[in-house]
């Protein structure tokens, strides 16, 4: 699955139209293999994005859960902590780059 597609369900505030569309664009890019479609494929690409976004929004609107909505800021902080644990501090990466030059 695409790393850039994020979980959109059960957040407070709910996912915006922009977030749903961004996820749809990433999904269609992955399926098509195009980051930016050619002029010949632009219309069908956009239509696919719109259809995927509509299906995703319908899914989000109809999912149910008993869990409390998650807080976006808390989830972002958890993601940063996981990233630091996995990749180390950003400062250590810059030191490696300087040593290679």
Q: What angle do CA 67, 73, 79 make, to 5 degrees?
A: 90
DSSP single-letter state for residue 34: -
Q: Which residues have CB under 8 Å from 69's CB, separation 6+?
A: 10, 11, 12
Q: Return d(Cα 7, Cα 46) in angstroms, integer.
A: 22
Residue ranges of domains in the chain = 11-100
What is the predicted pLDDT for the residue at 72? Answer: 85
pLDDT of residue 49: 97
Q: pLDDT tens digits for 40-78?
A: 999 999 999 999 999 999 999 999 999 999 988 888 899
pLDDT at 99 over 70: no
Average pLDDT, the chain: 86
Dist. CA 44–CA 46, nearest whole Å? 5
Query: pLDDT of 5-32, one tens digit each?
Result: 788 999 988 999 999 999 999 999 999 9
In this predicted structure, what is the pLDDT of residue 3? 64
């Amino acid at each position: 699955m695409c790393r850039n597609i994020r979980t959109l369900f059960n957040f407070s505030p709910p996912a915006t139209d922009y977030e749903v569309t961004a996820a749809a664009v990433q999904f269609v890019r992955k399926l098509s293999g195009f980051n930016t479609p050619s002029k010949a494929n632009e219309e069908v690409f956009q239509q696919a994005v719109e259809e995927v976004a509509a299906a995703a929004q319908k899914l989000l609107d109809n999912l149910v859960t008993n869990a409390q909505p998650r807080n976006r800021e808390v989830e972002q902080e958890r993601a940063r902590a996981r990233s630091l644990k996995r990749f180390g501090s950003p400062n250590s990466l810059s030191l490696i780059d300087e040593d290679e030059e």
